Amino acid sequence: MSDHPAWQIEGYDHLWMPYCQMKTAPLPLAVRSTSGVRLHLADGRTVIDSLASWWSACHGYNHPAVVDAIEQQLSLMPHVMFGGINHEPALRLARRLAAILPGDLNRVFFADSGSVALEVAMKMAIGFWRNHGQPGRTRFLAFHHAYHGDTTGAMSLCDPNRSMHASFGDGLLKQLHLDLPRDDVALAQLDQTLGHHRDELAAVVIEPLVQGAGGMRFHSPKVLRAIAETCRRNDVLLIADELATGFCRTGTMFAVQGTENQNLDKNNPATSGSAVIPDIICVGKALTAGMLPMAATIASDRVFDAFFSDDPSDALMHGPTFMANPLACAAANASLDLFENEPRLVQVREIERQLSDQLSVCRQIDRVVDVRVKGAIGVLQVDRLDHVDRLRQAFLDRGIWLRPFGDCIYTTPSLVISPDDLSQITTAMVEVTRQWASWN
């Protein structure tokens, strides 16, 4: 172990890295500072971050407006417990989230990570049915290729076979898992499954429009709408996990709004017009512009009302230590100001067009099985991802930080990336993937 270069970095022998076989993993990238879309490395090099730190640095790194807001809050009150106390940054953020979310998603519960936001959503759904006299409704239906987080409840929602959590097996809650329906036959099967298991099902959980870490797979607004209708028909709650898709990533503020004005069928009110309105929605990642750890679970009035009674035992029993951290709230409020005042949706549309134009040649590369683009997400799906470390190094040699994953070589850049910087990413994706296809 001691001859591995990583172990010669002082302190590394005390770190346990994420998603990582510590024995064989390559040297991690030593980053000293960040700015705009760039990482400045300890060895003096600068690289473009094609991932915006796992989808989160939506306005680029160190955005001065967000930094200022955090600094101002820092001098007033970095943190205070949220039990029995509240503060203006949280009140303001809750008001604003309720205002920009569709429908009656009005009740904001702050969490400290996306996984915890999913746990809270699950507890809300189970409590909803318990408080309606149906305590047996404690299971969830999720989809193959889903990724909903790393805590044990959230893990049980992930793809049971393909996900990195498969090895936990019997240690996880047993949920129902189906292929994400893409046609009427599959939708009818979902309908049947929901009907059959209604007495034990609390909710269906979905990443709307784009499944992220489970395979970067897309589905159409029409499919999303049909799934929502099927839940409503069967009186099963719908939880939308927008950890990755929220805040303009897919081309609308939230992906559930990507079903608006799609001209699906203008004559049919059930399939045209407005956003899909889930009963519970989870947001995070870009919520604080990627600067501080915070997520939120937002419930509809109907869900909240089930907990609102004179009986203490009807309450939602959850409360993270760092719930509604004022610094994170200040960052999120500053981030929402930027979404209001700067043309992020236009920028996403331009990124989408550029990714589509510049990645399409990859269809001709042997071993690339699909090229797909949605909003500020560009994906090359390959037959089988091998030589991962060498691949990552080849991107670094071209000045790009990119982390191939699953069967995908993908980019989720900052929404403020310039066309030139984005071209550097796409050029590297084309050239490196072409080379990679000839390795072996």
Residues forming the active site:
19, 147, 241, 285
* 159 vs 207 by CB, closer to ligand PLP: 207
What CA–CA distance (Å, rounded) separates 331 from 69?
6
Is 54 flagged in the annotation as binding?
Answer: yes
Helix (H, G, I), strand (E, B) or coil at 372: strand
Interface residues for ligand PLP in 315-374 (CB under 6 A)? none
DSSP alpha helix (H) spans, 12-63: 52-55
Taking every pair of C-alpha atoms in the chain, what is the biggest distance, in angstroms? 69
Position 281 contacts ligand PLP (CB under 6 A): no
Position 255 contacts ligand PLP (CB under 6 A): no
In contact, 298 and 256? CB cutoff 8 Å: no
What CA–CA distance (Å, rounded) separates 417 from 374?
16
Applying CB under 6 A, which of residues 101, 201, 243, 276 lies at the interface with ligand PLP? 243
Applying CB under 6 A, which of residues 147, 254, 304, 339 lies at the interface with ligand PLP? 147
Position 290 contacts ligand PLP (CB under 6 A): no
In the complex, least distance from residue 116 CB atom to ligand PLP, rounded to whole angstroms: 7
Q: Per-residue contact track with ligand PLP, 94 to 113, x per CB under 6 A? A: -------------------x
Strands (E) across 19-131 are located at 31-35, 38-41, 46-49, 105-111
In the complex, least distance from residue 436 CB atom to ligand PLP, rounded to whole angstroms: 25
* 148 vs 219 by CB, closer to ligand PLP: 148
Residues in a beta bridge with 377: 374
Is 147 flagged in the annotation as binding?
Answer: yes
Position 404 contacts ligand PLP (CB under 6 A): no
Choose the stretch contacting ligand PLP; rule: CB under 6 A; options: 100-108, 215-223, 236-244, 301-309: 236-244
Position 209 contacts ligand PLP (CB under 6 A): no
Residue 273's nearest CA partner among 281, 262, 282 is 262
Q: Could you tell me whether strands 201-206 and 139-143 are parallel, antiparallel, or unpaired per DSSP bridges?
A: parallel
Structure tokens that stand for 245 in this block: 């898709």
Choose the stretch contacting ligand PLP; rule: CB under 6 A; options: 135-143, 194-202, 206-214, 362-370: 206-214
* 130 vs 219 by CB, closer to ligand PLP: 219
* 243 vs 299 by CB, closer to ligand PLP: 243
Is 181 flagged in the annotation as binding?
Answer: no
Q: What amino acid occupies position 19?
A: Y
**Residue 22 main-chain phi, psi, to 5 deg:** -60, -30
Is 319 flagged in the annotation as binding?
Answer: yes
CA gyration radius, the chain: 22
CB atoms within 10 A of CB 213: 24
How many residues bind ligand PLP (CB under 6 A)? The answer is 16
What CA–CA distance (Å, rounded) separates 58 from 335?
9
Structure tokens that stand for 104 in this block: 């009656």
Is 23 flagged in the annotation as binding?
Answer: no
Is 114 flagged in the annotation as binding?
Answer: yes
What lies within 8 Å, CB to CB, of 424 at 6+ separation is 48, 398, 399, 400
What lies within 8 Å, CB to CB, of 405 at 6+ separation is 213, 385
In the complex, least distance from residue 155 CB atom to ligand PLP, rounded to whole angstroms: 10
**Residue 193 main-chain phi, psi, to 5 deg:** -65, -45
Applying CB under 6 A, which of residues 212, 251, 278, 406 lies at the interface with ligand PLP? 212
Choose the stretch contacting ligand PLP; rule: CB under 6 A; options: 1-9, 83-91, 146-154, 220-228: 146-154
CB atoms within 10 A of CB 137: 21
Choose the stretch contacting ligand PLP; rule: CB under 6 A; options: 144-152, 167-175, 246-254, 303-311: 144-152
Is 241 flagged in the annotation as binding?
Answer: yes
Instruction: Give the relative orientation of helices 419-436 and 388-397 as an angle to the nearest 10 degrees.
Output: 140
Applying CB under 6 A, which of residues 207, 279, 352, 421 lies at the interface with ligand PLP? 207
Position 159 contacts ligand PLP (CB under 6 A): no
Applying CB under 6 A, which of residues 37, 51, 231, 244 lies at the interface with ligand PLP? 244
Determine the distance from the C-alpha atom of residue 147 to the mean position of all C-alpha atoms in its chain, rounded to a whole number: 9
What CA–CA distance (Å, rounded) separates 351 from 437?
26
Binding site residues, ligand PLP, CB under 6 A:
113-115, 118, 147-149, 207, 212-213, 241, 243-244, 284-285, 295
**Which residues line the annotated binding site for substrate?**
54, 147, 285, 319, 403
Binding residues: 54, 114-115, 147, 241, 285, 319-321, 403
Residues making up the annotated binding site for pyridoxal 5'-phosphate are: 114-115, 241, 320-321
